[in-house]
Amino acid sequence: MDNQSVKNPVAEINYWINLADNELHCFKAKERVFQLFHSLYQSGMLKWYFLEDKKGLIVYCITDDFRGGLTVNELFMYIKPKWRGNIRLFKQLVNHLEQVAKDNNISQVRIASNIGYSDSQVLKVLQHWGYETDVVVKTLE
């Protein structure tokens, strides 16, 4: 299920942001995240894909990589707690991004480019699937 099958995308975006934040407290400025997603949606850049029966979703956009190419960027990924632990669902979300890249002749997929993942199991799985997990980041307090 993708963008076109959602009746009220703005409400849908808000629902998933709230769902994730209520559980994980992952957004320091939830309203800003919503505004960013809403702006990307209005511009036509925001894309998403739902797992069957809305067990989870992945939100992404395609942007210039500033080296003459394009990249598929995961912005937000969430699987409802009841369905976690099933690697097949996580792989389905990642496969969707990779298929988008193939369909658009894009050679790079970026996962966690904005928030990063510190869960060592998630990182090991992504490495097993060929993803590089080294990023240069400095957090300023």
Helix (H) / strand (E) element for 23: namely helix 9-24
Q: Judge whether 134 lies within some domain.
A: no
Per-residue pLDDT at 85: 80
Q: Does pTM surpass 0.85?
A: no
| Residue 65 belongs to domain spanning | 3-128
Nearest to 9 by CA among 50, 63, 51, 66: 50
Say how many domains are in the chain.
1
Q: Judge whether 56 lies within some domain.
A: yes
Q: Judge whether 115 lies within some domain.
A: yes
Q: Judge whether 15 lies within some domain.
A: yes
Q: Judge whether 137 lies within some domain.
A: no
Nearest to 16 by CA among 50, 41, 43: 50
Q: Judge whether 138 lies within some domain.
A: no
Q: Judge whether 140 lies within some domain.
A: no
CA distance 32 to 113: 17
The first and second tokens of residue 135, run together, are 């990023």
Q: Judge whether 60 lies within some domain.
A: yes
Q: What Rg value do the Cα atoms of the chain yield, rounded?
A: 15
| Each residue's pLDDT tens digit, 4-53 | 567 888 888 889 989 988 988 888 888 888 888 889 999 989 999 999 99
Domain CATH code at residue 61? 3.40.630.30
Which band of pLDDT confidence, cut at 50, 70 and 90, is reported for residue 70? Answer: very high
